[in-house]
């Protein structure tokens, strides 16, 4: 029986990063992963295969098409007869995925991580550690890391199949639906709804919650909703779904909104109502691995489960289901196993929605800070007063800084606007070090750049914005 120091079950962002970092630290490492794409093993999990990466490729392609259609003329560029070759667009998306999943396989070889393709199952504990069935081969490992990820939550009234799809199906439509329904106005629903709206679909988004993006700062969610509605996304909030039926030509949805029963017909229906932990086939019950009431693997502050030598990270332990959060947990755990001080600061994990305009935030919202009893000051600065944004012809949105009025410490930063996914990083770095609004305001930002809006928002916390 082959023996390893560390065996990782799951090859998504949490698992493959944990495996690579453990190997860098001198451990003998193996990883078992069952994900397949096109009938072949494909490392990277949901993120690389059917989530983060392919969705961003489609968002980029569809945004370019919309720009050519509606904005090129403003730049003095006349374009006639622009059309979508959906097959080629999907092919480009797949090629991006191939490069990155192949890159993970290369990194495993480079770092001498043994890869098994198939299911990983905890079998029993023995003197050498844990015996694990790795794709049909029993191996033993001193440390086992469970990183099996999550799966799309299914709506009981609308099981997946046919015209009812989750994120992977919504990235593989062979033609643009004329009418597209989306249940769930979260990150996935809004991003995928945006893709198909740009390509010509009439998109209706149904959300059970009473308002949009309740986790975001109120000012950001209000501005984002205004922009999305202006683009043509049709939102309905406070909706209760009562019936979903499908036939050969599409899907019928019956729902209640403002005490009125409404029926709608769609060619396709995307269900994006969250995700659930994926523990099927892990052998949790047989070995006594403790799960919580929602099915997540229970861990302590060092990712230890109730079983000695068994750890868990990523989506399967709950919390923010974000690839970058999962990756950091992988690094932290590998370093902890090596006797180092692995740590993740969950207070400043950034959130990003890759729509147009983009949305990004980290830390406390203004409302959240006040609810904690903090004395708060805020500064806000619009992209409409920024030279680079004007030159780019995209002045939507703003940056908002939330700081402690007594200490000036930055509590949160919230953005909606062009390329804010690339702007949030500097604010996270400053918050990671407990920095102040003054630290951010005194940092020299290149001119002209979008990042100057971040500086100006920090200045605005003391009513010192220079260009407003």
> Which tens digit of pLDDT belongs to each residue from 258-284?
999 999 999 999 999 999 999 999 999
pTM score, two decimals? Answer: 0.96
Is there a binding annotation on residue 233? no
User: Quick check: 432 and 379 in contact, CB under 8 A?
Assistant: no
Neighbours of 189 (CB within 10 A): 23
Same domain, 300 and 325: yes
Tokens of 105: 């396989």
Q: Which helix (H) or strand (E) holds 60?
A: helix 52-70
- 1 among annotated binding-site residues: no
What pLDDT score does 365 carry?
Answer: 98
**Do 105 and 226 have their domain in common?**
no
Query: Does the annotation flag 245 for ligand binding?
Result: no
Query: Quick count: other Cβ atoms within 10 Å of Cβ 79?
Result: 10
Flag whether 109 is in a domain.
yes
How far apart, in whole angstroms, are the C-alpha atoms of residue 53 and residue 59? 10
Over the stretch 67-116, which tens digit does the pLDDT of each residue have? Answer: 999 999 999 999 999 999 999 999 999 999 999 999 999 999 999 999 99
Binding site annotation covers 89?
Answer: no
Domain end marker among 309, 338, 367: 338
Question: Which pLDDT does position 442 carry in this prediction?
Answer: 98
- Check whether 130 has a pLDDT greater than 90: yes
The active-site residue out of 70, 302, 343, 447 is: 447
- Evaluate whether 173 touches 93 at the Cβ level (below 8 Å): no
Q: What distances in angstroms separate CA 260 from CA 204, 207, 211, 212, 263, one per listed residue?
A: 17, 15, 18, 20, 10
Residues 384 and 286 in one domain: no
pLDDT digits (tens, 9 = 90+) for 351-395: 999 999 999 999 999 999 999 999 999 999 999 999 999 999 999
C-alpha–C-alpha distance, residues 413 and 408, integer Å: 13
DSSP state of 348: G
Question: Would the annotation count 274 as a binding residue?
Answer: yes
Q: Based on the domain organization, do 311 and 404 belong to the same domain?
A: no
Q: How many residues can be counted in the chain?
A: 468
Record the tokens describing residue 294, joined without a space: 């929602």
The answer to whether 207 is annotated as binding is yes
Helices (H), 116-200: 167-170, 187-198
Q: How far is CA 225 from the centre of its chain?
A: 19
Whether residue 187 is annotated as binding a ligand: the answer is yes
| 236 is a catalytic site residue | no
Angle at 355 between CA 351 and CA 359, to 5 degrees: 35
Q: Pick left, alpha or beta for residue 129 (phi over 0 → left; psi -120 to 50 → alpha; otherwise beta).
A: left
Per-residue pLDDT averaged across 433-458, rounded? 98
The pLDDT of residue 46: 97
**For residue range 200-243, what is the model confidence (pLDDT) as tens digits?**
999 999 999 999 999 999 999 999 999 999 999 999 999 999 99
Largest CA distance in the chain: 73
| CB of 240 closer than 8 Å to CB of 255 | yes
Q: Which phi and psi (to 5°) does residue 233 adopt? A: -70, 130
Mean pLDDT of the chain: 98
Identify the pLDDT of residue 1.
87
Please spell the DSSP secondary structure of 29-59, one letter per residue.
Answer: EEEEE--EETTEE-TTHHHHHHSHHHHHHHH
Phi, psi of 14 (to 5 degrees): -65, -50
Q: What is the percent of the chain with per-residue pLDDT over 70, rounded to a whole number?
A: 100
| Residues 78, 137 share a domain | yes
Tokens of 67: 């720009």
Structural domain count of the chain: 3
85 located within any domain? yes
Residue 378: asked if its preceding bond is cis (omega within 30°), the reply is no
Angle at 27 between CA 26 and CA 28, to 5 degrees: 125
Residues 195-201 have a mean pLDDT of: 98
86 annotated to bind ligand: no
What is residue 95's three-state secondary structure?
helix
Read off the pLDDT of each residue in 154-164 and give the average, rounded to a whole number.
97
290 and 269 within one domain: no
Domain containing 75: what range? 3-152+276-338
Q: Specify the CATH number for the domain of residue 400.
A: 3.30.390.30
CA distance 289 to 317: 12
- What average pLDDT does the segment 397-420 reach? 99
Place of tokens 């794409």: 37
Q: Cis ω on the peptide bond leading into residue 357 (within 30° of 0)?
A: yes
Do 195 and 282 lie in one domain? The reply is: no
For residues 148 and 297, membership in a common domain is answered with yes
Residue 416 is inside which H or E element, if any?
Answer: strand 410-417
330 known ligand binder: no
The pLDDT tens digits of the residues spanning 184-194 come to 999 999 999 99
Element (H, E) at 275: strand 275-277
Sorted by sequence, the CB contacts under 8 Å of residue 239 that are 6+ apart come out as: 206, 207, 208, 255, 256, 257
For residue 218, the model assigns a pLDDT of: 97
189 is in an annotated binding site: yes
Backbone angles phi, psi at 8, to 5 degrees: -105, 130
Query: Is residue 418 situated within a structural domain?
Result: yes
In terms of domains, do 430 and 299 share one? no
Q: Do 260 and 291 fall within a single domain? A: no
Predicted confidence at residue 168, as pLDDT, reads 96
Q: Domain check: are 10 and 118 in the same one?
A: yes
Give the tens place of pLDDT for each residue, 300-333.
Answer: 999 999 999 999 999 999 999 999 999 999 999 9
Q: How buried is 413 (Cβ within 10 angstroms: 0-12 exposed, 13-18 middle, 19+ buried)?
A: buried
Q: Is 120 annotated as a binding residue?
A: yes
Residue 176 — pLDDT band, cuts 50, 70, 90?
very high
pLDDT tens digits for 419-440? Answer: 999 999 999 999 999 999 999 9
Q: What is the pLDDT of residue 177?
A: 98
> Residue 128: pLDDT band by 50, 70, 90 thresholds?
confident
Together in a domain, 107 and 256: no
Question: Which pLDDT belongs to residue 429?
Answer: 98
Residue 127's pLDDT is 87
Tell me whether strands 150-152 and 275-277 are parallel, antiparallel or unpaired: antiparallel
């Amino acid at each position: 029986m082959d023996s390893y120091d560390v065996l990782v079950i799951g090859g998504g962002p949490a698992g493959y990063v944990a495996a690579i970092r453990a190997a860098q630290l001198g451990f003998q490492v193996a990883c078992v992963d069952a994900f397949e794409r096109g009938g072949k093993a494909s490392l990277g999990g949901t993120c690389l295969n059917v989530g983060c990466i392919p969705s961003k490729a489609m968002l980029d392609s569809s945004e370019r098409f919309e720009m050519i259609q509606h904005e090129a003329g403003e730049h003095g560029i006349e374009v006639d007869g622009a059309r979508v070759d959906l097959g080629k667009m999907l092919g480009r998306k797949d090629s991006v995925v191939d490069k990155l999943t192949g890159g993970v396989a290369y990194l495993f070889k480079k770092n001498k991580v043994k890869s098994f393709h198939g299911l990983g199952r905890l079998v029993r504990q023995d003197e050498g550690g844990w015996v694990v069935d790795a794709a049909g081969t029993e191996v033993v490992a001193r440390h086992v890391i469970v990183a099996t990820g999550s799966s799309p939550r299914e709506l009981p009234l609308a099981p997946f199949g046919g015209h009812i799809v989750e994120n992977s199906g919504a990235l593989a439509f062979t033609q643009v639906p004329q009418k597209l329904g989306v249940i769930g106005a979260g990150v996935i629903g809004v991003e995928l709804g945006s893709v198909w709206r740009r390509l010509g679909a009439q998109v209706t988004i149904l959300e059970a919650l009473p308002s949009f993006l309740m986790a975001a700062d109120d000012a950001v969610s209000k501005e984002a909703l205004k922009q999305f509605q202006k683009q043509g996304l049709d939102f309905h909030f406070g909706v209760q779904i009562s019936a979903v039926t499908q036939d050969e030509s599409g899907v019928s949805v019956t729902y209640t909104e403002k005490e009125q029963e409404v029926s709608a017909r769609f060619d396709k229906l995307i269900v994006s109502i969250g995700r659930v932990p994926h523990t099927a086939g892990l052998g949790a019950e047989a070995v006594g691995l403790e799960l919580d009431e929602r099915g997540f693997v229970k861990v302590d502050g060092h990712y230890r489960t109730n079983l000695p030598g068994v750890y868990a990270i990523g989506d399967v332990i709950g919390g923010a289901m974000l690839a970058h959060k999962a990756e950091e947990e992988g690094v932290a755990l590998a370093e902890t196993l090596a006797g180092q001080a692995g740590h993740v600061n969950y207070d400043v994990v950034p959130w990003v929605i890759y729509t147009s305009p983009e949305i990004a935030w980290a830390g406390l919202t203004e409302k959240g800070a006040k609810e904690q009893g903090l004395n708060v000051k805020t500064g806000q600065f619009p992209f409409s007063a920024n030279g680079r944004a004007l030159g780019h012809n995209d002045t939507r949105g703003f940056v908002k800084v939330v700081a402690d009025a007594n200490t000036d410490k930055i509590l949160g930063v919230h953005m909606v606007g062009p390329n804010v996914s690339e702007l949030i990083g500097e604010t996270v770095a400053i918050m990671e070090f407990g920095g102040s609004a003054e630290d951010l305001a005194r940092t020299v930002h290149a001119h002209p750049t979008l990042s100057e809006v971040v500086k100006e928002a920090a200045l605005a916390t003391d009513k010192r914005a220079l260009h407003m």
